[in-house]
Amino acid sequence: MRVTRELAEQLGMTESSRRAVSSGVVYQIYPRSFRDTSGDGVGDLPGIAAGVAHLERLGVDGVWLSPIHPSPMADFGYDVADYTDVDPLFGTLADLDRLVAELGERDISLLLDWVPNHTSDRHAWFEASRSSRDDPRRDWYVWRDPAPDGGPPNNWTRHFADEPAWTFDEHTGQYYLHLFLPQQPDLNWANEGVRDAMVGVLRFWLERGVAGFRADVVHLIGKDAALADDPPERIGVPRAGFHDEEITHTYLGQIRDVLDEYEATMVGEVNLPDAARVVRYVGDDRLPMAFYFGLLYAPWERDTWRDVLAYAYTHFDGADAWPVWALGNHDTPRQVTRYGSLARARAAAVVLLTLRGTPFLYAGEELGLADAEVPEDRVVDPGGRDGCRAPIPWDASPTRGWPTADPWLPWPPDTDDHNVAAQEADPDSTLHLYRRLIAARRDSSALALGWFELLDGTADVLSYRRWLDGDERHVHVNFSDEPRDIAAPAGTVVVSTERHREGAPFTGHLGTTEALVVRPTP
């Protein structure tokens, strides 16, 4: 739902919230896996353009692309070697321009992935930086002398392995910091040249008509100059889960000024477990919005979901911040795999698409995909995340609508039923459930913009209401694998995981793992 300035004013929304809401429902594409046109078994930009009709029918308002820039692919694009170009694997700048136009014609905006914390070790900035201690780019990265024993400068642990976050550079005799792979050196945001260069990167893409960005691990960019040791209980814990420095908010202020010039948006990946910390990254002088991953990491348990929602809204509503929710992404096993059943994944989708906050979908979840089983000899990701990155099946043919039957990763399971064409043909499919949910959200100001309040519900059933002015919806989710009857206000079923119930009166009965949206009787 697009929110004009006038409507935002009427509703008393902050500018940050208005811009966040305006991106509606966002669909994440992992470009390697969406659709291939070149025949090399890796998805590409013309492939995404060929798939826009699917996005339009789904009804999404925005698309976020995981990185498409030139990269040695040590972390599959999250190691950027050039921020202002497109990797030939994915196509050309002209392909990107065409995609922006194709999406724009359908009123879908494009968000790129901006990776501000680190570059590739093959980026020209890092090659210069490591060439000599006197190079003007030396200070663009975080270099430190060895500890007195010759070991790393502090006890920080990197991601993806229980190893130091430092690599020694023989040539210049110092260590450089990398919170992720050694091929992903951390930039030094304390250096003004780095900040200006990154602003230049944002401008480059905003000038080309991009609507905004997803900012990769943006909470990591500020570093305390002392780089003090972690306390003993944190040794071995990668920093991305707790690193939280005040100075980052100042850097985000400079970023926000640029976004504001273009009326652009940004969603920060602030991977902190405490919503109270995450909201501090959101506001009119910092990020327009930030992911909150409380539900992404929650097991399929009614009490846990209830607690996460209660705590999150206390902090987000309390700070007048608009949350961003996701149940899947390219780093996390898919919902069907995590919860252990398609029925639960479908019920979870009802929650995702009826929350207060912007929902992000991960390509393939609308098809009910599970993770691919990746045999050992085909494992490619250093972080063990290949399963959720399997290619999207477009039909049931041997090549699943791709030019090759053997793409870069194995297919997900059950592609006979779980492909775009088959799901399209079956009105009871997960794809149609997602479409009905997105349409219901668009049709109801209570669902799109309204307030959130938990209702009492019965054990095993999560119940909440959304409302705005005269519009109201109730959501009931049966977390148990048996039917449940609850005492709830009567109304009409608007959307259900059991399609045959839609349009019928709601009397408090919920089938096995059923989730539904009710318009209460006034």
Which residues are designated catalytic? 216, 261
Question: Binding to ligand TEU (CB under 6 A): which residues in 327-346?
Answer: 330-331
Q: Token pair for residue 190?
A: 């304390």
Beta strands in 337-450 (DSSP E): 358-362
Query: What is the rounded CA–CA span in Å between residue 454 and residue 262?
Result: 37
329-to-363, 407, 414, 441 alpha-carbon distances in Å: 8, 20, 20, 21
Please report how close the Cβ of residue 269 comes to ligand TEU at its closest, in angstroms.
6
Extract the tokens encoding 341. Answer: 């059943």
Q: Which of 383, 413, 508, 511 touches ligand TEU by CB under 6 A? A: 383
Nearest alpha-carbon partner for 49 in 61, 25, 65: 65
Q: Which is nearer to ligand TEU, 119 or 430 (CB)?
A: 119
Site for ligand TEU in 478-517 (CB under 6 A): none
The nearest distance, CB 330 to ligand TEU, in angstroms, is 6
**Mask: binding to ligand TEU, 40-79, rule CB under 6 A, as x and -?**
-----------------------------------x--x-
Residues 6+ apart with CB under 8 A from 241: 271, 272, 273
Q: Which is nearer to ligand TEU, 271 or 358 (CB)?
A: 271
Least separation in angstroms between CB 180 and ligand TEU: 5
243-282 positions binding ligand TEU, by CB under 6 A: 269, 271
Shortest spacing between CB 442 and ligand TEU, in angstroms: 28
Q: What is the enclosing helix (H) or strand (E) of 285?
A: none
Of 336, 341, 294, nearest to 313 by C-alpha is 294
Q: Maximum Cα–Cα distance for the chain, whole Å?
A: 75
Q: Token pair of 154, please?
A: 């502090």
Q: Which of 121, 216, 371, 472 binds ligand TEU (CB under 6 A)?
A: 216
**Could you say whether residue 386 binds ligand TEU (CB under 6 A)?**
no
The answer to whether residue 291 forms part of the interface with ligand TEU (CB under 6 A) is: no
Task: Please say which residue, 115 or 289, places its beta carbon nearer to ligand TEU.
Answer: 115
Task: Choose between 271 and 429: whose C-beta lies nearer to ligand TEU.
Answer: 271
Report the alpha-carbon distance of residue 183 to residue 160 in Å, rounded: 12
Least Å from the CB of residue 83 to ligand TEU: 13
- What phi, psi does 515 have (nearest 5°)? -130, 140
Q: Which is nearer to ligand TEU, 385 or 418 (CB)?
A: 385
- CB closer to ligand TEU out of 159 and 334: 159
Of residues 302-321, those binding ligand TEU (CB under 6 A): none
The answer to whether 326 and 362 have CB atoms below 8 angstroms apart is: yes
Find residue 174's DSSP bridge partners: 169
Q: How far is the CB of 519 from ligand TEU (least distance, A)?
A: 37
Compute how many residues bind ligand TEU; rule: CB under 6 A: 14
Q: If binding is defined by CB under 6 A, does position 389 make contact with ligand TEU?
A: no
Please name which of 179, 142, 183, 146 lies closest in space to residue 163, comparing C-alpha atoms.
Answer: 179
Counting beta carbons within 10 angstroms of the beta carbon of residue 60, is it exposed (0 to 12), middle (13 to 18) or buried (19 or more)? buried
Residues between 5 and 24 that touch ligand TEU (CB under 6 A): none
8 A C-beta contact, residue 512 and residue 483: yes
User: What are φ and ψ of residue 324, in 5° steps?
Assistant: -125, 125
Q: Which is nearer to ligand TEU, 1 or 197 (CB)?
A: 197
Instruction: Answer for the pair 79, 120: CB distance below 8 angstroms, yes or no.
Output: yes
Q: Which has the closest alpha carbon to 275: 288, 293, 287?
A: 293
Residues 103-122 that bind ligand TEU (CB under 6 A): 115
DSSP letter, residue 108: -
Residue 240 found at the interface with ligand TEU (CB under 6 A): yes
Contact at 8 Å (CB) between 86 and 67? no
Name the residue nearer to ligand TEU (CB basis): 17 or 71. 71
DSSP three-state, residue 139? helix
180 binds ligand TEU (CB under 6 A): yes
**Residue 306 and residue 286 in contact, taking contact as beta carbons nearer than 8 Å:** no
Shortest Å, Cβ 271 to ligand TEU: 4
Cα gap 49→35, rounded to integer Å: 9
Identify the residue among 195, 334, 385, 400 touching ligand TEU (CB under 6 A).
385
Closest by CA to 23, choosing from 364, 365, 434, 357, is 357
How many residues belong to the chain? Answer: 522
CB nearer to ligand TEU: pick between 90 and 180: 180
Binding mask 130-169 for ligand TEU (x = CB under 6 A): -----------------------------x----------
Out of 89, 112, 217, 252, which residue is the one contacting ligand TEU (CB under 6 A)? 217
- Least distance in angstroms from the C-beta of 76 to ligand TEU: 7
* Shortest Å, Cβ 141 to ligand TEU: 15
Residues that bind ligand TEU (CB under 6 A): 75, 78, 115, 159, 180, 216-217, 240, 269, 271, 330-331, 383, 385
